[in-house]
Amino acid sequence: MLPCVIDACQIGGWVYRGIVPWNKGDGSRPVRGWFRRQCEYIVTASAGPLPQEPDGESIFAMGFFTIPTIQSAARCHLTEKPESLTDLMIGIKSEWKTILDPFMGSGTTGVSSLRLGRKFIGIELSREYFDIACKRIEAASKAQPLLFEEGVNGG
Which helix (H) or strand (E) segment holds residue 42: the answer is strand 39-46
CATH number at residue 122: 3.40.50.150
Let me know if residue 94 belongs to a domain.
yes
**Number of compact structural domains in the chain:** 2
Let me know if residue 153 belongs to a domain.
no
Question: Does 147 have pLDDT greater than 60?
Answer: no
CB-side neighbour CA atoms (13 Å) of 52: 2
Let me know if residue 24 belongs to a domain.
yes
The predicted model gives 65-74 an average pLDDT of: 85
Look at residue 53 in the predicted model and tell me its pLDDT.
64
Let me know if residue 2 belongs to a domain.
yes
The answer on 37 and 17 residing in a single domain is: yes
The answer on 102 and 65 residing in a single domain is: no
95, 51 Cβ separation under 8 angstroms: yes
Question: Does 108 have pLDDT greater than 70?
Answer: yes
Question: Does 56 have pLDDT greater than 60?
Answer: no
Look at residue 155 in the predicted model and tell me its pLDDT.
47
Give the pLDDT band (50/70/90) at residue 59.
Answer: low
Domain that holds residue 108: 71-141
Look at residue 70 in the predicted model and tell me its pLDDT.
81
The answer on 28 and 82 residing in a single domain is: no
**pLDDT above 90: percentage of residues in the chain:** 41
